[in-house]
Amino acid sequence: QKEVEQDPGPLSVPEGAIVSLNCTYSNSAFQYFMWYRQYSRKGPELLMYTYSSGNKEDGRFTAQVDKSSKYISLFIRDSQPSDSATYLCAIWGSGTYKYIFGTGTRLKVLA
């Protein structure tokens, strides 16, 4: 079993839709839960991170962590064509120095 599982998509939605992106993980030792956005032919950029459990909101983006079910989510409200990118989840535990990425979900928001 991979330590982080992520549906590769692609996911196509109309402009204005609510997008839900999800990952599951297997090791409960991780403390940081991140979402990265990667545009074509660019490096990943950190979008949001959550330390431990709970929700975090930043504009149209909400990151959610449920440590009991080992499930992390990213919600995008009022999606825009500029949100079209690959979204990667990642988990990290500073004590282990292990940083694990999901394979990424390709999102396309149609105008």
Partner 1 sequence: NAGVTQTPKFQVLKTGQSMTLQCAQDMNHEYMSWYRQDPGMGLRLIHYSVGAGITDQGEVPNGYNVSRSTTEDFPLRLLSAAPSQTSVYFCASSYSEGSNYGYTFGSGTRLTVV
Interface ranges with partner 1 (CB under 8 A)? 6, 8, 32, 34, 41-46, 49, 51-52, 88, 92, 94, 97, 99-104
Beta carbon nearer to partner 1, 32 or 75: 32
DSSP sequence for the chain: --SEEE----EEEETT--EEEEEEES-TT--EEEEEEE-TTS--EEEEEEESSEEEEETTEEEEEETTTTEEEEEESS--GGG-EEEEEEEEETTTTEEEE---EEEEEE-
Beta carbon nearer to partner 1, 56 or 70: 56
Beta carbon nearer to partner 1, 17 or 108: 108
